Amino acid sequence: MSKRIIAAAWTPAIAWMAVIFWLSSFPRFEFVPDRWQIEPVSLTVHALEYGLLAALLWRAAQRTPALSCWSWQASLLITLLYAASDEVHQAFVPGRYADVRDWLADAAGAAVAVWLLQRRAQVSPARGAARSFRQTNTCGTMPPDPETPRTGRKAHRSLRKGDAA
């Protein structure tokens, strides 16, 4: 797989990480109504923004040969580490503070997104990233030796008949 394709796969995730960092730099969101800055809405927004990040990272990992076998683990780990670093970043922004509940909401959103993507890939392997993943990677299994002919059920029966005769 070319480096250009891999770079294109990671660009949306990195761009979204930059947006999250930029948004975390604001001391207060003046453009958001106060009624939306209450706890349930805030936690939902955290879950959605990190769910999107996990999905973008999952997609990128699926298209990276070294990570495609561990796409859900890699995307979840990177998302959780980035969410933790975002909370630390917010501790240094005047008017903001680090909150473990925000990180838990981030983790929940990321876990749900990765779970849904993995489930979709297992149920419908002919769609999207799952298709390219299955066509290009064997995930720990040895690829078949091109010198050895593949024998299906019919070929196997004919071999037995030949042996018996």
pTM of the model: 0.72
How many other C-beta atoms are found inside a 10 Å radius of the C-beta of residue 134? 14
Domains of the chain, by residue range, sit at 3-140
The whole-angstrom separation of Cα 53 and Cα 45 is: 12
How many other C-beta atoms are found inside a 10 Å radius of the C-beta of residue 163? 7
Q: Please check whether residue 68 is in contact with residue 24, taking contact to mean a CB–CB distance below 8 angstroms.
A: no
137-146: long-range pairs with CB below 8 Å, 24+: 137/65, 137/68, 137/69, 139/68, 139/69, 140/69
Per-residue pLDDT of the chain (165 residues; tens, 9 = 90+): 688 888 899 999 999 999 999 988 888 766 566 655 567 878 898 999 999 999 999 999 999 888 888 888 999 999 999 999 999 999 999 888 888 999 999 999 999 999 999 888 877 665 554 444 444 445 655 455 555 555 555 545 555 555 554
